[in-house]
Amino acid sequence: MRSTGDINMIFDKQPPNNIDLEESVLSSLIIGSESIDDVFLQADEFYKPAHVEIFKAIKSLQGQNIEVDLLSVTNKLKESNTLEVAGGVSYLSRLLDCPVSVNLEYYVKKIKESANLRKLITISHSVTSSCYNKEKSATDIIENAQRDISDIGAEETGKTDIKDIVNSTYDKLEKLRESDGFVSGIPSGYSKLDKHTSGFQNSDLILIGARPSMGKTTLAVNIARYAAFNFYPVLIFSLEMSNEQLTHRLLSEMSEVNGMKFKSASFSDSEWVRVKSATGNLYEMPIHIVDKTGLSINEIMSITRSFKRKHKISLVVLDYIQLISGWNKDGQGPKAKISNGLKAIAKSLNLPVIALTQLNRNLERRDDKRPIMSDLRESGALEQDADIAMFLYRHEVYETKEEQLIGASKGKAELLIRKNRQGSIGMTKLKFVPEFTKFFSDDNY
Residue 441: which H helix or E strand, with range? strand 438-441
Q: Which of 289, 229, 280 is nearest to 255 (CA)?
A: 280
Domains of the chain by start residue, with CATH? 4-157 (1.10.860.10), 185-441 (3.40.50.300)
pLDDT for residue 418: 92
pLDDT for residue 157: 47
Angle between helices 297-311 and 138-157 (to 10 degrees): 50
Q: Which residues pair with 200 in a beta bridge?
A: 186
Whether 349 and 154 have beta carbons less than 8 Å apart is answered as no
DSSP letters along 168-207, please?
HHHHHHHHHHHSTT---SB--S-HHHHHHHSSBPTT-EEE
pTM above 0.75, yes or no: no
Give the mean pLDDT per block of 10 residues along the chain (445 residues). Answer: 44 82 89 67 91 92 83 93 93 83 81 91 90 85 80 56 66 65 81 88 92 89 93 92 89 90 89 92 91 86 86 92 85 83 88 92 83 78 88 83 70 90 88 88 60
d(CA 329, CA 341): 16
pLDDT for residue 243: 86
What DSSP character marks residue 389? Answer: E
pLDDT for residue 8: 47
Under DSSP, is residue 122 helix (H, G, I), strand (E, B) or coil? helix
Whether 70 and 92 have beta carbons less than 8 Å apart is answered as yes
